[in-house]
A and B are shown apart, each in its own frame.
Chain A
Amino acid sequence: MFDFSIITSWVHGLLTSWMPEGLAIFLECVIVGVCLMLLYAVIAIVMIFMERKVCAAFQCRLGPVRVGPWGTVQVFCDVAKMLTKEIITIRHSDRFLYNLAPYIVILASLMAFACLPVARGLEILDFNVGVFFLMAASSIGVVGILLAGWGSNNKYSLIGAMRSGAQMISYELSIGLSILTIVVLTDTMQFSEIVQRQADGWFLFKGHIPAIVAFVIYLIAGNAEVNRGPFDLPEAESELTAGYHTEYSGMHFGLFYVAEFVNLFIISGVAATIFLGGWMPLHIPGWEGFNTVMDYIPGFVWFFAKAFFVVWLLMWIKWTFPRLRVDQILTLEWKYLVPIGLVNLLLMVIVVVFKLHF
């Protein structure tokens, strides 16, 4: 497996030979930041295109086909359109909060995005409580949504924001529990370490029953966390027109839109990292030839393949099920997911203590 830290340390060495170390580190931070944002934008565009195509396929349609081959340029055109649209200010809205809200959402999303280990040596934020940092960073997003609902001076937006608040805070619990289940198995919270320990088998297989249950709970709660169907109540278009972002236009709406899609990718990426081995290739014990072939596939390909597979799973779910009602969402969380998650955590502890895992 190629280690990208060779490249990064080479760049570091190159820069420090030219300039003082402080400046070099500052310059590296800027470069990394720019790369991160570029990757973020690219992922958003890929995700939007994928959503449109996948959703169309489920619905017996073709999806975008006109602009570019197979409609690939469509999303770029949409982005260009969004960028040139007027940003409307609403009368009697709380101007400061109204304008701040999309940036909080995108900031939270970007911070969480930085935690994903894309390949060996390509971790941007990687420290010993990485899991906690990810959860803390991603939960800032709900503040942005609440502010958007409150600042818009629109009754629909407010209802959407309140729904979102109730929903995201509840489901954070389930996400935490299911990640914790895996943390119990790995006894580390550092993402790079979590991936390393899956070299001899992904946690989904190593942890067997409790890991699979945790995976399912994680997918459900993760779906709810990013406000996607069947948990898209905060923006339920047939009930609240567009929910919390009803009053946003132009790129302010675009930021919400992009953040929603990248959040979906983050949820999938985290699922890929902690359950499906991150950038670790698929190894089947005993099949040496197969394993060497798998090793030739670069790590970031593995990571993106797994992440997009999970994205596809979540899209499949979104485009199949009807939307839940607000009380049912809370019932599902507090009467089903949390108790099952707790029992599952206990089960995992038993599995680990008695070494029942593979």
Chain B
Amino acid sequence: MNNNLQAKITAWEPAAVWSDKGDGMFTVPAERFRDLAVRLRGEGFDFLRSLTGMDWGEEGFGVVYHLESTATGENVVLRTLTPERENPVLPSVCDLWKTAELNEREAFDFFGIRFLNHPDMRRLFLRDDWVGYPLRKDYDPSLNPLRMSNEVAKDSTASFELMPDGSVIRKRSVLFEEEEYVINIGPQHPATHGVLRFRVSLEGEIIRKLDAHCGYIHRGIEKMCEELTYPQTLALTDRLDYLGAAQNRHALCMCIEKGLGVEVPERVQYIRTIMDELQRIDSHLLFFSCLCMDMGALTAFFYGFRDREKVLDILEQTTGGRLIQTYNTIGGVQADIHPDFVRKTKEFIAYMRPKLREYHEVFTGNIIAQERLKGTGVLTREDAVSFGATGGTGRASGWACDVRKRHPYAAYDKVQFDEVLFTEGDCFARYMVRMREIEQSLHIIEQLIDNIPEGACQVKMKPVIRIPEGSYYAAVEGSRGEFGVFLESRGDKYPYRMKFRSTGLPLVACLETIARGTKIADLIAIGGTLDYVVPDIDR
């Protein structure tokens, strides 16, 4: 963060304390935090990149906020905390940044932090009958044996408000009335792309309310990371967004390398960039296929899958895996590229371009597809920023949110490519962004594939990796948005806290805004074009 901004924030809020460890962040007392947040929001910090619940032990519970101004590109990291361990209460910022709504529910779920004036303080991932808060350091796992009873769906939610005398009261509000026609879409449903569940209140075919339930594939990866050494944590990232294994792992490696201060060789940077882009093509082809399938064009689905197979073949030959690639390592990559890699990639680029034309002929141009996608599910730019809906979704709404442009990493500053932007924000724009991005990815790979510099593909690392005390954040442009890793280290060989900024959670958060008032068929199209991947939402 630049000194100018640092001075400004200190002037606005003298109680904010700057700490230099790691990336550096401000610590703001809980009672002063809300004012500073409002101030920052007013000063143009409209994008809440990441919200992380924390248990600092003695210091108490708190939240780390990563803010960015979309206009100036300035970043600021804040934290606020309360020493209260029994009933921690913090102010909510979900009215300033809508993405905080689900993220604060996550923090409540994992740490038991109650957010004042948050309208919907339910657990997000875990069952309602879960005992305790699992990411607290003093949590006892034996409290929650495997439950054999069904979870009863609740039709009400709670919120917490501060009374003038300083006490906190709990208010109950109703989600679905008795007479509403509520249907469950998911957790087992062909169009949710995994185990995501929506409770949808219908009026005929029209959606009146939508309530997303996450957590059906929650594995507690963040908790697991706290007990694993840094190289061991890498294996888990491939299992977050299974269509962005290379990118996820890239982000975690970048974050650890940043903490260690390791400079990665140029060759590795190039290979990682190419792998990321191949992965992006893979993911976008799957997006195309699944969208077609959701819309009923099953044949186009097979065309997409047929061509995705070629990408997977290339990835498999070099990395040894198709979905779970385990390729990036701390300070390098697992193995050098396969001798056939360059030739095969070039062949693929030549093969892919005519196929893209075919996709456009069979699906994009089709009047039925156009009628169904155009004008449905509009997300405004303002909402996209507020929800933090990055990736293709944000760019379809006209928000230049590409991490590759905002914070260039790996070899992205050495290549020419366009950030595909649309302004409509509807399903068709979201679809077209991704189709154009395939072309851009091919273009990026073309520029790099012949120029991979010679050199080592792995930096020699110490047998035991310890990251200096501090907190670090690194982000990559995943297949469906900004994938970030927030790492807090206390100098051990295990991370103290590791948080993954999900690319899919903001997309689920904005779903209710987009889908309200549309038809069931539109919900499927919206879900398809938002392109979320459930293991990435649930983590």
Residues of A whose CB lies within 8 Å of any CB of B are 55, 58-61, 155-156, 159, 163, 229-230, 232-233, 236-241, 319-328
Which residue in B205, B292, B366 is a CB contact (below 8 Å) of A159?
B205
Q: What's the Cα separation between A325 and B367 when bound, in Å?
A: 12
B362:A238 contact, CB within 8 angstroms: no
Which residue in A59, A237, A325, A326 is a CB contact (below 8 Å) of B302?
A59
Residues of B within 8 A of A236 (CB): 296, 521
Residues of B within 8 A of A232 (CB): 296
Interface size class of B (residues with CB under 8 A): 20 to 34
User: With an 8 A cutoff between CB atoms, is B448 at the interface?
Assistant: no
User: Beyond the given A55-B299, A324-B371, A325-B372, could you list 18 further A-B residue pairs with CB under 8 A, ordered by the A residue number?
Assistant: A59-B301, A60-B302, A156-B183, A232-B296, A236-B296, A238-B294, A238-B296, A239-B520, A320-B297, A320-B299, A321-B368, A322-B296, A322-B366, A322-B369, A325-B522, A326-B519, A327-B519, A328-B371
Residues of B within 8 A of A327 (CB): 519
Q: A321-B368, A328-B371 are in contact. Are A238 and B191 (CB under 8 A)?
A: yes
Residues of B within 8 A of A323 (CB): 295-297, 368, 521
Q: What's the Cα separation between A319 and B301 when bound, in Å?
A: 11
Contact with A along B369-387 (1 / 0, CB 8 A): 1011000000000000000
B302:A238 contact, CB within 8 angstroms: no
B302:A322 contact, CB within 8 angstroms: no
A-B contact pairs, 24 of them (CB 8 A): A59-B299, A60-B303, A155-B181, A229-B296, A232-B296, A236-B296, A238-B191, A238-B293, A238-B524, A239-B521, A239-B524, A320-B297, A320-B299, A322-B292, A322-B295, A322-B296, A322-B297, A322-B300, A322-B368, A323-B521, A325-B521, A325-B522, A327-B519, A328-B371
Q: What's the Cα separation between A229 and B292 when bound, in Å?
A: 13
A241:B190 contact, CB within 8 angstroms: yes
Q: What's the Cα separation between A320 and B301 when bound, in Å?
A: 10
Q: What's the Cα separation between A230 and B205 when bound, in Å?
A: 18
Residues of A within 8 A of B297 (CB): 320-323
Residues of A within 8 A of B302 (CB): 59-61
Q: A155-B183, A320-B299, A322-B295 are in contact. Are A237 and B190 (CB under 8 A)?
A: yes
Residues of B whose CB lies within 8 Å of any CB of A are 181, 183, 189-191, 202, 205, 292-303, 306, 362-363, 366, 368-369, 371-372, 519-522, 524
Chain A CB within 10 Å, residue with most, of B298, B363, B372, B519: B298
Q: A58-B299, A156-B183 are in contact. Are A320 and B306 (CB under 8 A)?
A: no
Residues of B within 8 A of A229 (CB): 296
A320:B524 contact, CB within 8 angstroms: no
- B126 CB to nearest A CB, Å: 27
Residues of A within 8 A of B371 (CB): 324-325, 328
Q: What's the Cα separation between A79 and B243 when bound, in Å?
A: 38
Chain B CB within 10 Å, residue with most, of A60, A229, A236, A325: A325
Number of A-B contacts (CB under 8 A): 81
A319:B298 contact, CB within 8 angstroms: yes
Q: A239-B520, A241-B189 are in contact. Are A326 and B205 (CB under 8 A)?
A: yes
Chain A CB within 10 Å, residue with most, of B181, B294, B296, B301: B296
Q: What's the Cα separation between A160 and B295 when bound, in Å?
A: 16
A230:B296 contact, CB within 8 angstroms: yes
Q: What's the Cα separation between A59 and B295 when bound, in Å?
A: 16
- A327 CB to nearest B CB, Å: 7
B519:A320 contact, CB within 8 angstroms: no
Chain B CB within 10 Å, residue with most, of A58, A155, A239, A326: A239
Which residue in B303, B366, B524 is a CB contact (below 8 Å) of A321?
B366
Chain B CB within 10 Å, residue with most, of A55, A156, A238, A322: A322
Cβ-closest chain B residue relative to A325: B521
Q: A155-B183, A236-B521 are in contact. Are A328 and B190 (CB under 8 A)?
A: no
Cβ-closest chain A residue relative to B527: A238
B296:A320 contact, CB within 8 angstroms: no
Q: A319-B299, A327-B519 are in contact. Are A60 and B306 (CB under 8 A)?
A: yes
Residues of B within 8 A of A61 (CB): 302
Which residue in B295, B366, B369, B521 is a CB contact (below 8 Å) of A326?
B521
Residues of A within 8 A of B294 (CB): 238
Residues of B within 8 A of A159 (CB): 183, 202, 205, 520
Q: A60-B302, A156-B183, A241-B189 are in contact. Are A324 and B205 (CB under 8 A)?
A: no
- B181 CB to nearest A CB, Å: 7
Residues of A within 8 A of B181 (CB): 155
Cβ-closest chain B residue relative to A316: B299
Q: What's the Cα separation between A241 and B362 when bound, in Å?
A: 25
- B364 CB to nearest A CB, Å: 11
Residues of A within 8 A of B189 (CB): 241
Residues of B within 8 A of A320 (CB): 297, 299, 362
For the complex of A and B, 8 pairs with smallest distance between CB atoms: A323-B296, A59-B302, A322-B297, A322-B295, A238-B191, A325-B521, A238-B294, A155-B183
Q: What's the Cα separation between A5 and B426 when bound, in Å?
A: 63
- A22 CB to nearest B CB, Å: 53
Residues of B within 8 A of A324 (CB): 368, 371-372
Residues of A within 8 A of B190 (CB): 237-238, 241
Q: What's the Cα separation between A129 and B240 when bound, in Å?
A: 65
Residues of B within 8 A of A237 (CB): 190
Residues of B within 8 A of A59 (CB): 298-299, 301-303
- A287 CB to nearest B CB, Å: 38
Cβ-closest chain B residue relative to A61: B302
Residues of A within 8 A of B301 (CB): 59
Q: What's the Cα separation between A271 and B207 when bound, in Å?
A: 39
Q: What's the Cα separation between A55 and B298 when bound, in Å?
A: 9
Q: What's the Cα separation between A236 and B372 when bound, in Å?
A: 15
Chain B CB within 10 Å, residue with most, of A61, A240, A319: A240
Q: What's the Cα separation between A312 and B366 when bound, in Å?
A: 21
Q: What's the Cα separation between A319 and B296 when bound, in Å?
A: 9
Q: What's the Cα separation between A243 and B282 when bound, in Å?
A: 32
Chain A CB within 10 Å, residue with most, of B183, B303, B520: B520
B363:A322 contact, CB within 8 angstroms: yes
Q: What's the Cα separation between A58 and B522 when bound, in Å?
A: 27
Residues of A within 8 A of B303 (CB): 59-60
Cβ-closest chain B residue relative to A58: B299
Residues of B within 8 A of A241 (CB): 189-190
Q: What's the Cα separation between A4 and B368 when bound, in Å?
A: 46
Q: What's the Cα separation between A320 and B302 when bound, in Å?
A: 11
